[in-house]
Amino acid sequence: MRAFDFAAPGDIAGALHLAGDASSTSVAFLAGGTTLIDLMKLDVLAPGQVIDINHLPLRGIRLGPDGLRIGALERMADIARHDAVAAHYPLVSQALLLSASPQLRNMASIGGNLLQRTRCGYFRDVATPCNKRAPGSGCPAQSGDNRGGAILGTSASCAATHASDVAVALVALDASVRLRGAGGERTVPLADFYLRPGDTPHVENVLRPGELITEVIVPALPWARHSVYVKVRDRQSYEFALASAAVAVDLRGGAVHDARVAVGGVGTVPWRLSAVEAALRAGQSFEAAAALAVEGARPLAGNAFKVTLAQRVIMRALTELAGPR
């Protein structure tokens, strides 16, 4: 790990002041540190200044008439166990509990989880090229080890999958993030927050230099109580998804009146499936609707199985929700 300056301000204004005019990319905010410190130890990231934000007033889990509000520093484990989250948005609770390991969930913040780097094995290996780590150096995953790579939203520059489970659930629920920086506050829908790689895979989101995520906002959706998060992976714990599905359905008289569907493990960003939702509302079969999930897929040599797998995790989620309640 390379040397860096460290500070631990007590308020948001102090943290933003330390971040300066946001012209330098060498500043990193530290919350749980479960990703940042790991990547710093590998010399994948080398910020010149680390700002500990754990003393900032960015906590709280509040359910109201307008929905759910979660402070960015709330720990993943605490959110997953919160009665209101588990009762009103079970897919969020389930996505969190299927993430990482208990130890990491006890440390990791929701804001940090949403900001974890989209990555594959080459990103962490400083001995290999990676356009995310060193823009313009190349993407060896295009012809190398790409079994875990994305099939949706890829480019010739990058095929890494977005790593967050809970981001998939939140995108399905039309969640937004509140951001605060030197220029003030703004709210961005999470679906618009993440950027596909294109020719600039190192730019992963619309967060401006020096900005903080201060809050996650999930709008009210009464029938989100009837929801599930399904994750398929190589082992039962501490593993990224090969494919996952966040699904909520409004069932009336045995028919789908409305639906929210997003998938993970197969896209370069959390992938909302509006076409699948429309097909379900139109009364199409689960199988016909799920087939629309992979339109435009561009599998690589090692991950073509994800085309079928993505459809099957959606089918599994829908079938589970359609059963006895």
Q: What is the pLDDT of residues 190-204, one digit of tens each?
A: 999 999 999 999 999
Residues 310, 293: contact at Cβ < 8 Å? Answer: yes
Q: Which amino acid is at 76?
A: M
Domain presence at residue 60: no
Q: What is the pLDDT of residues 94-117, one digit of tens each?
A: 999 999 999 999 999 999 999 999
**Among the listed residues 191, 219, 215, the one whose alpha carbon sits nearest the alpha carbon of residue 205:** 191
Q: How many CB atoms lie within 10 A of CB 228?
A: 19
Domain presence at residue 35: no
Q: What is the pLDDT of residues 158-173, one digit of tens each?
A: 999 999 999 999 999 9
Domain at 264, CATH number: 3.30.390.50
Domain presence at residue 3: no
For 229, the domain range is 223-322
Q: Give the whole-angstrom CA distance, residue 181 versus residue 23.
A: 12
Whether the per-residue pLDDT at 125 is higher than 50: the answer is yes
Q: How many CB atoms lie within 10 A of CB 40?
A: 19
Residues 210, 19: contact at Cβ < 8 Å? Answer: yes
Q: What is the pLDDT of residues 12-58, one digit of tens each?
A: 999 999 998 545 558 999 999 999 999 999 999 999 999 999 999 99
Residues 28, 18: contact at Cβ < 8 Å? Answer: no
Q: DSSP H helical segments within 115-215, as ranges?
A: 121-124, 166-172, 190-193
| pLDDT for position 150 | 98
Q: What is the mean pLDDT of residues 227-255?
A: 96
Q: What is the pLDDT of residues 128-159, one digit of tens each?
A: 999 999 999 999 999 999 999 999 999 999 99
Q: What is the mean pLDDT of residues 289-311?
A: 98
Domain presence at residue 293: yes
Whether the per-residue pLDDT at 4 is higher than 50: the answer is yes
**Among the listed residues 147, 260, 150, the one whose alpha carbon sits nearest the alpha carbon of residue 196:** 150
Q: Say how many domains are in the chain.
A: 1
Domain presence at residue 115: no
Structure tokens at 113: 């989880």
Domain presence at residue 230: yes
Q: Give the whole-angstrom CA distance, residue 109 versus residue 112.
A: 5
| pLDDT for position 323 | 86
Domain presence at residue 54: no
| pLDDT for position 21 | 53
Whether the per-residue pLDDT at 233 is higher than 90: the answer is yes
Residues 36, 113: contact at Cβ < 8 Å? Answer: no
Q: What is the mean pLDDT of residues 3-20?
A: 94
The residue to which tokens 């971040």 are assigned: 19
Domain presence at residue 243: yes
